[in-house]
Amino acid sequence: MTEPARLAELEKKLGHVFADRKLLERALTHASASSIASNERLEFLGDRVLGLVIAQMLFSAYPEDPEGLLALKYNALVRGEACAAAAESMGLSEHMVLASSEAASGGRQKTAILGGTCEALIAALYLDAGFEPARNFIARHWERAFAELSDDMRDPKTMLQEWAQSRSRAARGAPEYRLVRREGPDHAPHFVVEVSVAGESTALGEGRSKREAQQAAAKAMLDQLGRKEELTAISREDGG
């Protein structure tokens, strides 16, 4: 497929034909492919456009939320993982322009590159046609992330940390995470992490990054603790 045809295919996915297609080309170009014409400046602008749109959407969708909860939801929606998920949902990786070495090392699957390209694309839409096309793009590709929001936006690691701190008088220290193993090629690694808290059993978690595996391990530990507390409560009721 020729480059113009590839760009036209992406424009079809976006529902927007660029008046200045050079903006689209630049948004797709990673610094590894061109340090002069990379998407880094667009990424900077796109991050700010994304922030404004997300803040506005949250402000309208959750009129009863206090500022602190809005901030937690905002952070969940603008972080790199959320941008990368949006990029993956629209198949953006196949359109990114990377150096051959970066592509060979799994660059098309890296969260930072996917997220940065998505932000650059938002900026390109904004510069080419104004706020509405950028807002519409974000509303469409962040729909799933919005649906997953809740009133408790603490991530599993934070929740486990708080659980351990609340029981500090019982001589329980902070959760400790240990890398059990790393598998797979460099472009598609798989991590297994173990978490332990003094006085409690351990739990394992898996993921495509250490952070993801740690979060999965923390969630598994919280699930174990929840079941244990439920059994303890039942035992007390039976004993009473």
Catalytic residues: 47, 119
Task: Kindly report the three-state secondary structure assignment for every residue of the chain.
Answer: CCHHHHHHHHHHHHCCCCCCHHHHHHHCECCCCCCCCCCHHHHHHHHHHHHHHHHHHHHHHCCCCCHHHHHHHHHHHHCHHHHHHHHHHCCHHHHCECCHHHHHCCHHHCHHHHHHHHHHHHHHHHHHHCHHHHHHHHHHHCHHHHHCCCCCCCCHHHHHHHHHHHCHHHCCCCCEEEEEEEECCCCCCEEEEEEECCCCCCEEEEECCHHHHHHHHHHHHHHHHHHHHHHHHHHHHHHC
